[in-house]
Structure 1
Amino acid sequence: MRWRYVQIPRLALPDSKTGPKTIYLNPQAIEILSGLDRRADDQLVFPALHREGPINLGEHWIRIRRKAALPDVRLHDLRHSFASAAIAKGIPLATIGKLLGHALPETTARYAHLADDIISESADRICSSLAGALGIAA
Structure 2
Amino acid sequence: MPISRDKSRSTYVFEFDRVVNGGRIRIRKRLPKAWSAAQADEFDRKESAKLYATANGLGVEDRLIIDAVSIYIAERATQLKQGENVSREIDLVRWAFEGKRISALPEVCRDVMQNSGRSRYGKDMAPATIRARIRYLVAACRYAWKYHGFGTADPGARVITPQVRNERRVYIDRREMLKIARKIKNRKVRRVVRIAFYSGMRLGEILSARVEGGRWHLDDTKNGEPRIVPIHPRVWTAAHNTSRKPAKITVQSYFREAARALGHKDLHFHDLRHSAASEMINNDIDLYTVGAVLGHKDQRSTARYSHLATRSLDLAIKKIGQKSPATQRKKAA
TM-score by length of 2: 0.30
| 1:26 matches 2:225 | no
Q: Match for residue 118 of structure 1?
A: 311
CA distances 1:51-103 after superposition (whole Å, capped 9, x unpaired) = xxx56323211222134442321122222222222112111111101111111
C-alpha distance in 1 between matches for 2:214 and 2:313: 36
Partner of 1:51: none
Q: Which has the higher contact order (CA 8 A, sep 6+)?
A: 1
Q: CA deviation at 1:16?
A: 0.8
1:9 aligns with 2:222: no
Q: CA 1:72/1:8 → structure 2, altered by over 3 Å: closer, same or farther?
A: farther
Following superposition, the deviation at residue 104 of structure 1 comes to 1.9
Structure 2 match to 1:134: none
1:46 counterpart = 2:240 = no
Query: Secondary structure at 1:102's aligned position in 2?
Result: coil
Counterparts of 1:15-94 in structure 2, within 5 Å, are 15-18=220-223, 19-34=225-240, 36=241, 38=242, 45-48=244-247, 56-94=250-288
User: One-letter code of the match for 2:294?
Assistant: L
Residues 64/120 of structure 1: CA separation in 2 closer, same or farther (3 Å cut): same
Assess if the C-alpha contact under 8 Å between 1:46 and 1:55 holds in 2. no
Look up the equivalent residue of 2:251 and give its one-letter code: L
Q: Read off the aligned partner of 1:79 and give its amino acid letter.
A: R
Give the ranges of 4+ consecutive aligned residues of structure 1 lying more than 3 Å apart after TM superposition.
66-69, 119-124
Alpha-carbon spacing, 1:119–1:10, altered in 2? closer, same or farther (3 Å): closer
Provide the rounded CA distance (Å) in 2 between the counterparts of 1:106 and 1:55. Answer: 29
Aligned residues: 113
SS of 1:103 mapped into structure 2:
coil
Unpaired runs of 5+ in structure 1? 40-44, 49-53, 131-138
Larger Rg, first or second structure (1 or 2): 2
For 2:294, the equivalent position in structure 1 comes to: 100
Under a length normalisation based on structure 1, what TM-score does the superposition of the two structures give?
0.65
RMSD over aligned CA atoms reads: 2.8
Stretch of structure 1 that moved more, 103-112 or 55-64 = 55-64
